[in-house]
Amino acid sequence: MKSLFSYIVILLLSLTQVQAQKEAITKTIEVFPYQHNTEINSSITTMKSWGKNEWKQLVQLLNDDSLKLKSSYALNAFVNEASLNIELKKQTATLLASVYSAASSFYAKEILIKQLALLGEDASIKLLSKLLKDETFGGNAARALASIHSQASIAALTNALGNAKGDNKKHIQAALDNVHFVLPEIKIVTPVKEKAISNAQHLLLLQDKMEKASNPIQKRKLLAEAEHLPGFGSFMFVSKFLNDAETNQDAARIVCKLAMSDKNIRGADVRAALEKAIDLLHGEDSAILVSKTNAYLKLLPYDYGFVNLFNGKDLTNWKALVDNPIARAKMSDAALQAAEKIANEKTKGDWIAKDGLLIFTGHGDNLATEKKYGDFEMYVDWKITAQGDAGIYLRGTPQVQIWDTSRHDVGAEVGSGGLYNNQKHVSKPLVVADNKIGEWNTFHIIMKGEKVTVYLNGILVTDNIVLENYWDHNLPIFTKEQIELQAHGTYVAYRNIYVKELPTATAVNISEEEQKQGFVSLFDGTTIEQWTGNTSGYLVKEGSLMVSPEEGSGGNLYTKEEYDNFIYRFEFQLTPGSNNGIGVHAPLEGDAAYVGMEIQVLDSEHPMYAKLQPYQYHGSVYGVIPAKRGYLKPTGEWNQEEIMVNGSKIKVTLNGTVIVDGDYAAASINGTMDHNQHPGLARTTGHLGFLGHGDVVRFKNMRVKKIVLIEKSKSKKRKAH
């Protein structure tokens, strides 16, 4: 009996020890996956002290599909570290070989064999030689022995070959062939210098090849090439394969990497592609890539992104041409709309969407964008036939030239991409960069102010040249007008038409009407000199004030001036799940939601906020007065808000709808809704503020008007009588 009791005690102690050991190992590998070596130094040091039992525990984690990710990263990192030290490398190989028997899953066995191959130590030869007879892992073992490439490992392969059968014999022979392979003698010859092609030209070729690709292997190879071509065009090319079941995982990985390597890749289509890619990412690299992509999406601006002007199906975003910009400016809105309606009917069939292309059939007039553009960046692919002649009108003005360079009778030998109608400034392109007739070409056009830059097939052909006003050479180019595809009597096809509006660095003044009403600007889009507090956490970027968690965790930013009774107007743009607030009557120290008041700025319709209290939704006086719901615009769009404080009365208007209209003094007589102390409700003056919570939110057009307390105003009138 005593012996049985002792056995039970020993068993319990052993189980307790194993559990403690397992918890210690789990804690050690918690840091994986990692991005910086400094994050894992402590864990690697701990793993160096592990014995056979600890490594067995790690292998058991590898056996479990739900736990294998962190243990895989930890094993990979340790083997990489061990490979740099001769003694540690041998010790690690011995340990991994000794615990291989603890591996029960295919995944665990395969990864252990791979790590033994990477270590390249003879300590694992005995195990690997035994595995050469295994029908499942014989090939893995043969490749591992070939990787070790020592006399002993080669001898093990040679000895096993004679008795091997079937596929295992083929694996061993292939491994030996690899071991004994000798590079042929390299003869020094003078290389033929190939003409280097630009990334843009390379991408055009990839698109041509992809149309002819007949199997997934060919498609994946072409996508892999696109991964090494940075830029927006490559991103959009690869993103099309997110819907292809055979290649979507490759496409997902590539678009994430392309986007994060170029901040110029942005827009609604970009955001949608990245969101789709996140759901498709799998495999060992997914843990880090998903996390990094989610963080990148959080910071990705909604504004000034590329917009797809051609959906491949119809003429959405386009309209028929009516006269020229000067003539149109003289027309009333009603007259212009009537003229456009007639033009659209008249030109039906002149421009068509067919097979994903926007095609001019050869008769009719220009096709114009429905929207007007100021400064912009544009990508567009085009293709013409023999004797072709076309062009791109910028701000309603001719034109970036497109033509058949064989037409010497009209001077087309200079090439496409020049500003053909310029008289004073340069009109011809710098070089001829056109592809052959019938092949695709691509323009990258940048227009800032009155100057234009054009890249044709990745080659600079127009370098920051003034575009003259063709309609009246005494006038500068129009500041904002439509983009047009020129109709010049010959067939032309377009595809991949993307335009991005560019921000201007000029200050934005409040309207003349608001100035007359007494409003003053608190932010003109260029400086925060009227603000104080955590200025490092708020960046002036592209005309808006952006809360930047990367720079300073957001924090609080306050007006230098204090306000008692006022009307405060501003615009704000939320990101998914973002949280901020407007401080009212706030001091510069303490939690403004309590020592002052906080008007919620919150993406409160996001699923993560499904269980909010009524006083926490957007626009609420936090903890005191709840706001009406349902008036926020979709996340990413700009909202307009007005806060009016007059005595203890407060009114909040969101996008034209009053969502709060109350008296915070009366609302708190019997205690506040959140049952907390709000001493700030007794304050009658203080700073306006932004109360950051570590999320990206953007603000602009902040202006304020001081008002006289209504009660005081009435009192003065009574005394005057």
Q: In which band, very low, low, confident or very high, does the pLDDT at 563 lie, cut at 50, 70 and 90?
A: very high
- Residue with the bigger pLDDT between 639 and 720: it is 639
pLDDT tens, position by position, 46-71: 999 999 999 999 899 899 888 888 88
Rg, Å, the chain Cα set: 34
What is the model's pLDDT at position 716? 39
What rounded mean pLDDT belongs to the chain? 90
Other beta carbons less than 10 A from residue 175's beta carbon: 24
pLDDT, average across residues 176-198:
67
Bridge partners (DSSP) listed for residue 390: 402
- Give domain 512-710's CATH number out of 2.60.120.1090, 2.60.120.560, 2.60.120.650, 3.40.190.10: 2.60.120.560
Q: With beta carbons less than 8 A apart as the criterion, state whether 660 and 619 touch.
A: yes
Q: Evaluate if residue 14 carries a pLDDT over 70.
A: no
If you ran DSSP here, which 8-state letter would residue 621 be given?
B
pLDDT, average across residues 342-349:
89
pLDDT, average across residues 26-44:
80
Q: In which band, very low, low, confident or very high, does the pLDDT at 470 lie, cut at 50, 70 and 90?
A: very high
- Give domain 318-501's CATH number out of 3.40.190.10, 2.60.40.420, 2.60.120.560, 1.10.3720.10: 2.60.120.560
What is the model's pLDDT at position 499? 98
Q: Evaluate if residue 426 carries a pLDDT over 70.
A: yes
Give the closest residue to 615 by CA, choosing from 656, 575, 564, 652: 652
Give the closest residue to 205 by CA, choosing from 220, 189, 219, 222: 222
What is the model's pLDDT at position 16? 57
Give the closest residue to 127 by CA, choosing from 379, 491, 137, 135: 137
What is the model's pLDDT at position 23? 84
Q: How far apart are CA 317 and CA 483, in angstroms?
A: 11
For domain 199-302, the CATH architecture is Alpha Horseshoe (1.25)
Element (H, E) at 352: strand 351-354
If you ran DSSP here, which 8-state letter would residue 360 be given?
E
190 CB-near residues (< 8 Å, 6+ apart): none
Q: Evaluate if residue 551 carries a pLDDT over 70.
A: no
The three-state secondary structure class of 600 is strand
Angle between helices 52-63 and 68-82 (to 10 degrees): 140
Phi, psi of 621 (to 5 degrees): -80, 105
Q: Which segment, 63-77, 152-166, 247-261, 285-299, is predicted with the most confidence on average? A: 247-261
599's tokens: 């008007």
Other beta carbons less than 10 A from residue 109's beta carbon: 21
What is the model's pLDDT at position 698? 94
What is the model's pLDDT at position 715? 37
Q: How far apart are CA 235 and CA 306, in angstroms?
A: 12
CA of 395: how far to CAs of 196, 326, 328, 359, 576, in Å? 34, 12, 13, 21, 35
Q: How far apart are CA 618 and CA 592, in angstroms?
A: 16
The three-state secondary structure class of 461 is strand
319's tokens: 């309209």
Domains 318-501 and 512-710 share a fold: yes
- Give domain 2-180's CATH number out of 3.30.70, 1.25.10, 1.25.40, 1.10.1060: 1.25.10
Q: Evaluate if residue 457 carries a pLDDT over 50.
A: yes
What is the model's pLDDT at position 183? 55
pLDDT tens, position by position, 66-107: 888 888 888 888 888 888 888 898 999 999 999 999 999 988
Q: In which band, very low, low, confident or very high, does the pLDDT at 33 lie, cut at 50, 70 and 90?
A: confident
- Residue with the bigger pLDDT between 504 and 511: it is 511
Q: How far apart are CA 292 and CA 274, in angstroms?
A: 11
The domain locations on the chain are 2-180, 199-302, 318-501, 512-710
0.75 cut: is pTM over it?
no
Q: With beta carbons less than 8 A apart as the criterion, state whether 565 and 645 touch.
A: yes
pLDDT tens, position by position, 238-283: 999 999 999 999 999 999 999 999 999 999 999 999 999 999 998 7
Q: How far apart are CA 497 and CA 356, in angstroms?
A: 11
pLDDT, average across residues 144-153:
88
Q: How far apart are CA 534 and CA 12, in angstroms?
A: 56
pLDDT, average across residues 466-474:
95
Q: Evaluate if residue 2 carries a pLDDT over 60.
A: no
Q: Evaluate if residue 523 carries a pLDDT over 60.
A: yes
What is the model's pLDDT at position 118? 86
**Of the ranges 2-6, 177-181, 336-340, which one carries the lowest mean pLDDT score?**
2-6
